[in-house]
Structure 1
Amino acid sequence: MEGTLGLHHVTCLAGDPQENLDFYLGVLGLRLVKRSVNQDDPATYHLFYADRQGTPGTALTFFPYPHPPPHRLGVGQAVEVALAVPPESLGYWEARLARYGRPLERGERFGLPALLFPDPHGLPLAFTAAEGPGLPWEESPVPPEHQVRGLLGARILEREVEATLAFLQGVLGYRQRQVGDGAGWILEQEGSFLEVRALPGGRRGTLGVGGVHHLAFRVRDEAHALALREAALAWGLRPTPLIDRFWFRSVYFREPGGVLLELATDGPGFAVDEDPEALGERLVLPPWLEGQRPAIEAALPPVRLPGKEG
């Protein structure tokens, strides 16, 4: 059985949507490739940031809530997102993030140098020196040679790791190597990484602002997604049916330790309903929500795209 093709996107919870836009576009220089709504809660935005064309494996997405619930860190959660930046760009990013007042710490992720910092709503990020699939976006405030190159990985906290490690390897196709401190494991698949860390006796986390909602993994097509869905069922998990998200098709389930995972197809992609040169410039809805557009637009807070100054 074929495993996944690495990470597809990571979805998180944010606070004020304008602050989220200002940071991820204006400071980090990502492209807003889709401005839509949470299809399960259409009164909330769903903002997709990625490379120039929304390449699978480059999207970091957010459900922003102006008055979000508090986040409590704990087991059964993904707790940090690592983004790839060109290895020679760490100095540029250290200076740029300091200029914008982000508290920084030098560290290491997956055996690579990294800059560790929170976003404005508390999401832990790790800018890690690595190549990635992302394509530079000419309108970014960040020079092309320094732009973020996509998702690199995520950190997971578990009370018991054995079943999670077995599932990630046996079904999703990740390969394992031991972390030196003996408390965690690094898994690799198609250029993306997962760090699974053991926290025996740790309390279960509660999702809120600054937390990771779910990790989505790439699958080739619907047949690939359904084959992995059957494998999850055989593990005794409870995957959803295949759900049409319009830009991709998805299956959701919780892995043995409780982290919410998604299988997402590579296509049809973010340009299926917008000109590739105008991605993210307007609110787009899947066809089944278009009839609710007036009510949805009235419920959403107004936002503006930040300026492109560096």
Structure 2
Amino acid sequence: MTTTLFIEQMLNGIGYGLMLFLLAAGLTLVFGIMDVMNLAHGSLFMGGAYVAASVHTLTGSFIGALLAALAVTVLVALALEALLVRRLYGRDHLSQVLATFGIILIADDLVKMAWGPSPIMASAPAALAGPIELIPGLPYPAYRFVIIAAGVLVALGLYLLVNHTRVGMLVRAGASNRAMAEWMGVRVDRVFSLVFLLGAALAALAGALMGPLTAVQVGMGEEILIPSLVVLVIGGIGSVRGAFVAAMLVGLVDTIGRAFVPMALRSVLPPTLVSDLAPLIAGLATYALMAGVLAFKPTGLFPARG
């Protein structure tokens, strides 16, 4: 294993972690403030990826595709919040899971009707198709580097919004003690709507950015929803800081498990056994991380609710 390979894989892990953060941040805010377990969050991620890929193919403008994905997904989320999610406030989590799981099934069928059952191709902008040299002797795909930069900027903007604005104050108050916030005169319904739409926008942005790196296909939202829930549990429900730290940990652990564990196993085990064992170990690494954190911090690393 060379130093260049190690650095490249660590950057890949950071990029994956930042995309997980975009999805998990909205999920943890919705669950932490609204107390709504929204399994349909992954469907918003999928919708953002499909809209961005289609608009980029039609117009050739990647920025336009990102804006279109955000606009369409936010409008869909607005209708979803008004027609369904508001009815789930105060309901038990089982009801929320069943209702939002139904949205997953409906969303998957709607995508099949609109785009067909086969994956569609999403391409990166032509200007970012090649590599850039971060340091002499270390080329790295330009698009992956832009994803890292975009993730960092969004994380910084979200931090400033949550911690240094009046809106963020209301969000933190709701995450810490919703009943007290209501007694202090906070319009909780408006805060709920804003948080839900913000979470949808973050999910759409993550889907649009991840589209050129993964297959844009039916069910992609469910696939990334599972590690996002792991991030939510590790970081602490309602904590944006916890979601960021947990997403970085999960991204790096997942990348290390998939990139380096097979290399280590090949030195001591037969290749046929490695091909069967390595994916299993890599898949279990994230859950082992979650179990290790919860063993010492049952409420997560930075729980919003004291």
TM interval, short-chain normalised: under 0.3
State the TM-score, normalizing by the size of structure 1: 0.25
Task: Choose between structure 1 and 2: higher strand proportion.
Answer: 1
Task: Give the structure, 1 or 2, with the largest relative contact order (CA under 8 Å, sep 6 or more).
Answer: 2
Task: Choose between structure 1 and 2: higher helix proportion.
Answer: 2
State the TM-score, normalizing by the size of structure 2: 0.26
Say which one has the larger Rg. Answer: 2
